[in-house]
Structure 1
Amino acid sequence: MRKRSVGINVRVSVTEKRKMTLMAKRCGLSLSEYLRQRALGYEPGGHPPKEVFDVLDKLDEIAEGCTPATGAEIGTCADRLRDLLIGGN
């Protein structure tokens, strides 16, 4: 884990803080991590809702009940969807 020992104080309006907090939450990040990534030139992606991953988990369950070939095909598609949703390749 990195040691962060230096703080940076920035004044913002209540509305600006609300917006930044909302954007961080959408990305699944703390406000500090969101601002750190933005300041360093990264553009954090949005974080899909939990329900999306619940559906993908259900697809995995369905794949387990299928024939090996069909199950493998469904599993591969579910994995591709996961990668797209969380920024994989």
Structure 2
Amino acid sequence: MRNRTVGINVRVTVTEKKKVTMLARKCGLSLSEYLRQRALGYEPGGHPPMEVFDVLDRLDEIAENCQPSAGTKITACADEIRDLLIGGNQDLGNQGQLTARP
């Protein structure tokens, strides 16, 4: 059941709407969700480009072909980078991309 039943209308210029829509898209959010998060004091984070994950996958492949001790270190580093990119903000709910503003 949907809890959001009240709307808020805001007038913006065409340029403002394009900019806000672009920012929402960068975060992987709908325009409504992006505006809701900003209005409630959160700063939605963007998703890293797919190339970042391609590099991390390549590091995993390299680690598999290394001597065990080196491979373990490479895997640990790749996992730490992955966590920093996508897992650092899990404490604010299931969005995973919310960061409270100071």
Give the drift of 1:87.
Answer: 5.2
Match of 2:17, as an amino acid? K
Match of 2:42, as an amino acid? Y
**What does residue 34 of structure 1 align with?**
34
Higher RCO (CA 8 Å, separation ≥ 6 residues) = 2
Equivalenced residue count is 89
Give the drift of 1:68.
Answer: 2.1
TM-score where L is the length of structure 2: 0.75
C-alpha RMSD of the superposition:
1.9
Q: 1:66 to 1:2 in 2, by over 3 A?
A: farther
Q: 1:23 to 1:87 in 2, by over 3 A?
A: farther
Structure 2: stretches of 5+ with no match in the other structure: 90-102
Identical pairs, percent:
76
Give the drift of 1:2.
Answer: 6.1
User: Alpha-carbon deviations, 1:5-29, whole Å to 9, x = none?
Assistant: 2222211111110000111112222
**What does residue 52 of structure 2 align with?**
52
Match of 1:68, as an amino acid? P
Structure 1: stretches of 5+ with no match in the other structure: none
Match of 2:49, as an amino acid? P
User: Alpha-carbon deviations, 1:57-79, whole Å to 9, x = none?
Assistant: 11111112222221111111111
C-alpha separation in 1, matches of 2:61 and 2:23 = 33
C-alpha separation in 2, matches of 1:10 and 1:55 = 41
**What does residue 65 of structure 1 align with?**
65
C-alpha separation in 2, matches of 1:31 and 1:7 = 13
TM-score where L is the length of structure 1: 0.84
SS in 1 for 2:9: coil
C-alpha separation in 1, matches of 2:54 and 2:77 = 15
Alignment of 1:82 with 2:82, yes or no, is yes
